[in-house]
Amino acid sequence: PERVLIIGGGDGGVIREVCRHAEVKEVVICEIDKMVIEAGKKFFPKIATAWDDPRVKLHCGDGAKFVEENKSYFDVIICDSSDPVGPAQSLFTPQFYKAMRLALRPGGKVSTQAETTWLDLDLIQHLAISAREYYDSVEYAYTQIPTYPCGMIGFLICSLAPAAADSKTNAEKKQMASCRKPRRKLNQKLENVLKYYSKEMHSASFVLPAFARRAIYEGAKVQRKNKMKIMADEKKSKK
The residues annotated with a catalytic role in the active site are 80
d(CA 119, CA 124): 10
Cα–Cα distances (Å) from 61 to 8, 10, 30, 32, 109, in that order, read 10, 12, 6, 4, 22
Residue 229: name the closest of 217, 237, 221 by CA: 237
Give CA–CA dist 19/160, Å, rounded: 23
What is the Cα–Cα distance from 166 to 179, expressed in whole angstroms?
Answer: 18
Our CA dihedral for 139, 144, 148, 149, rounded to 10 degrees, sits at 70
Angle at 134 between CA 131 and CA 136, to 5 degrees: 95
- The answer to whether 170 and 138 have CB atoms below 8 angstroms apart is no
Q: How many CA atoms lie within 13 A of 44 on its CB side?
A: 15
CA-to-CA distance for 170 and 208, rounded, in angstroms? Answer: 24
